[in-house]
Amino acid sequence: MSYFLTQPSLGYPASLSATQVSSAVDCQNMSKASFQVTATAPGTSTAQLQVSNDGVNWVSLGTPTALTAGTIMVEKVDLTQRYCRLNLAVTSGTVTGLSVIFNGKL
């Protein structure tokens, strides 16, 4: 069984000029989670998965992935934390044509 969320429910606009995190996703019963990020013009920006057990204190996992024109995937296998979210960090320029999709496997 899958859990699927698209951009509006994750809280992202179509363009982004400052760092923003997605809405928290309750991943309590999920074994895998992935965020697919597409941008037509990525500026200088990165995407990184963050996790939390209380929804307040967040830890970044792995190394940030640079956004490119096109699509990238940020994923975590063997998810054991209660919540996950995506941090899109914009260091310069504006990310346009932004599309973010979340998929989790129960």
pLDDT in tens, 34-83: 899 988 988 899 999 999 999 999 999 989 999 988 898 998 878 889 99
The ranges assigned to domains in the chain are: 2-105
Sort residue 68 into left (φ over 0), alpha (ψ -120 to 50) or beta.
beta
- pLDDT score of 1 more than 60: no
What pLDDT shows up at residue 18? 87
Specify the pLDDT at position 16. Answer: 84
Whether this model's pTM surpasses 0.85: yes
Q: For position 92, what pLDDT does the model report?
A: 92
The pLDDT assigned to 79 comes to 84
Q: Check residue 32 and give its pLDDT.
A: 86
Task: Give the model's pLDDT for residue 104.
Answer: 86
Share of the chain above pLDDT 70, in %: 92
Q: What is the CATH number of domain 2-105?
A: 2.60.120.380
Q: How many whole angstroms separate alpha carbon 106 and alpha carbon 104? A: 7
